[in-house]
Amino acid sequence: MKKLLVFLKDYKKETVLAPLFKMLEAGFELFVPLVMAAVIDRGIAQEDISYVLKMGVVLVMLGLIGLTCSITAQYFAAKAAVGFSTKLKHALFEHIQGLSFSEMDKLGTSTMITRMTSDANQVQNGVNMVLRLFLRSPFIVFGAMVMAFTIDVKAALIFVVTIPLLSVVVFGIMMITMPLYKKVQAGLDKVLGKTRENLTGVRVIRAFHKEEQEKAEFEQDNRALTHMQLFVGKISALTNPVTYIIVNVATIILIYTGAVRVDTGYITQGEVVALVNYMSQILIELVKLANLIITITKALACANRIQSVFELQSSMEWKEKKDAAADGNTEREAASPYAVEFDRVGLTYQGAGAESLSDIDFKVKKGQTIGIIGGTGSGKSSLVHLIPRFYDVSRGNVKIDGRNVTEYGMEELRDKIGMVMQKAVLFQGTIRENLSWGKPDATTEEMNRALEISQAKEFVDTKPKGLEEPIAQGGKNLSGGQRQRLTIARAVVKQPEILILDDSASALDYATDARLRKAIRGMGEETTVFIVSQRTSSIQYADQIIVLEDGRMAGIGTHEELLKSCEVYQEIHYSQT
């Protein structure tokens, strides 16, 4: 939590003024019982109506001043808490964006969403409550005890016993519940992960008629979370009744002691009422303090979870952006005839027991089209993910234009590459806005050309608003083939040096797929194309075809050469034809 407080540095004024105004409110509140004692002892006892009215005005003034201080404190506390949360979420989002795919795989999507939303909101609420009540409640508690001593020392000794007893109860419950709240948040992660899986794969679940099974698993996880929350809630719920019992017992003793002291003439009736009022104030503030501690406990647990994300550093180190001409990179790139080189590359994912790719070795000349094919799980996507450096190789080297990918800055490397993932992802907005992700300053002509190459022009032109046609989140208002064609257009519009199509035409019919391949071949010799596909028909005209089997190269060559020499390729091809 301490490391997260750096996001409060721009709100130093608010973090000082909020508790200060709360302390002022508390100070005025402590004078109220004394005014009431004066009203009883002098105004009512002596039947002095004018004095009662005058003291009534004083009470109203104290109330108004206290209300003003409270509203002012709330304003500053809210401003600091919301500003803190905003900066925290921005920093967390930026940090997550800087993590490599390996760290994202390790964290999990549901965990990152929970950290960005639920956890960040809990921390925001904790900061707000701390600024408002963390100083005010203890000030009222000890202030009331001090004021009680000014009235009567013997009666005030009851406060000396009551306050430590209440503190033991409150802090004892806090120590028990803090680790349990961490388990609750972990259970929430699991339920959110299950919910996300169900929503993402709802069509698959329905297709295999697994609705009841998924419901049962979700209910089991949700029931476990509910049980844990109820268990923690029951322990936390003990705070209020136990504190009420202690305070009410103390009040009974106080009234009895006060009655005896009044009867002997040591204190007045008004002072007994003032002592009871101070005890009531202590009760109210300790209940607030108990609730505050529960909130702080949750906030600390959430803050530690957020901090664990900040402490997770990317396993990739990127070079600082430099002038390429200064170190001869421009000349080296121009001299290299190869767009991409794999030199005895091996890849092992974090936590994996064995290599996913082993001894991958090939060279691709600029302007060539490379087909990559293999069975499911053979490592096709893993191979192309090494080109834009989504993952780092475990051994060997990957070079682009004669330079190792580790020598590039992130922006420099990714600007060379247009990547179309296996899963077509579109964002809420218009078609134009989605295509602009590839090239922010792309003209309408460039977009139309990209749409023509990707074979998306035919359906975009049928839309009433054309490029301004709205796209739902995830492209839900488009078919699978339309989504794939738009994602290809988004990559093509930037006119990349290397275009990677990672099984991105799987939803297209054979005729559209053929037109797409023909259009890509016509893009010119400046673009090197990698096509990952399950169909031999999609890659048979490639300059080279790489055949993968269990993470190893089973063959490399043209379509005709592989039909003669590669059994794996023969099996794939003849099973399809």
* Highest-confidence segment of 38-52, 347-361, 489-503: 489-503
Cβ atoms of residues 350 and 523 within 8 Å: no
How high is the pLDDT of residue 290? 72
pLDDT over threshold 80, residue 79: yes
pLDDT band at 288 (very low <50, low <70, confident <90, very high): confident
Judged by average pLDDT, the poorest of 66-75, 112-121, 277-286, 326-335 is 326-335
Q: Residues of the chain with pLDDT > 70: what percent? A: 97
- Residues with Cβ < 8 Å from 98, sequence gap 6 or more? 314
Q: What is the pLDDT of residue 335?
A: 63
Confidence class for position 437, pLDDT limits 50, 70, 90: confident
- What's the one-letter identity of residue 186? A
pLDDT of 324 reads 44
The pLDDT of residue 516 is 85
Q: Given this model, what pLDDT does residue 473 score?
A: 85
Give 112-154 pLDDT, tens digit per residue. 888 888 889 999 998 998 888 888 888 888 888 888 888 888 8
**Average pLDDT value for the chain:** 85
Q: Specify whether the CB–CB gap between 301 and 178 falls below 8 A.
A: yes
CA dist 520 → 7, 168, 412, 446, 496 (Å): 49, 74, 24, 15, 12
Mean pLDDT of 272-283: 83
Whether the pLDDT of residue 490 is over 80: the answer is: yes
Predicted confidence at residue 78, as pLDDT, reads 93
Determine contact, residues 394/348, Cβ cutoff 8 Å.
yes
Query: What is the structure's pLDDT at 111?
Result: 79
Supply the pLDDT for residue 333. Answer: 57
Query: 334 pLDDT exceeds 80?
Result: no
Q: How confident is the model at residue 252, as a pLDDT?
A: 87
How many other CB atoms sit within 10 Å of the CB of residue 524? 8
The segment with the largest mean pLDDT, out of 34-43, 474-483, 509-518, 551-560, is 551-560
C-alpha 370/C-alpha 520 separation (Å) is 12
- Cα separation, 92 vs 117, in Å, equals 11
Q: What is the DSSP string of 314-359?
A: -S--PPPP--GGGGTHHHHHHH--EEEEEEEEEE--TT-SS-SEEE
Report which of 400, 396, 517 is spatially closest to residue 455, judged by C-alpha positions: 517
Which residues partner with 403 through β-bridges? Answer: 400
SS3 362: strand
User: What is the pLDDT averaged over residues 257-281?
Assistant: 83
What pLDDT sits at residue 322?
53
Bridge partners of 547, per DSSP, are: 373, 555
DSSP β-bridge partners for residue 275: none
Give the integer Cα–Cα distance in Å for 28 and 550. Answer: 76
Stretch (H or E) spanning 220: helix 211-237
Would you give the distance in Å from CA 185 to the centre of its chain?
13
Rounded distance between C-alpha atoms, residue 543 and residue 374, angstroms: 17
Where helices occur in 98-210 by DSSP H, the ranges are 101-107, 109-114, 120-133, 136-151, 153-200, 202-207
- Going by pLDDT thresholds of 50, 70 and 90, the confidence category of residue 424 is confident
Given a cut of 60, whether residue 11 has pLDDT beyond it is: yes
Let me know: does 499 contact 364? Beta carbons within 8 Å: no
Residue 492, H or E segment = helix 480-492
pLDDT tens-digit map of 43-76: 787 777 888 888 889 888 988 998 999 899 999 9
pLDDT at 203: 85
Mean predicted confidence (pLDDT) in 360-382: 89
| CA-to-CA separations, 11 to 14, 19, 80, 241, in angstroms, rounded | 5, 13, 6, 37
HSE-up of residue 299 (Cα within 13 Å, Cβ side): 22
When mean pLDDT is compared over 329-333, 343-347, 421-425, the highest value belongs to 343-347
The predicted structure's pLDDT at residue 295: 83
- Cα separation, 503 vs 506, in Å, equals 6
> Which pLDDT value is given to residue 325?
44
Provide the 3-class DSSP secondary structure of residue 374.
Answer: strand
CB atoms within 10 A of CB 405: 17
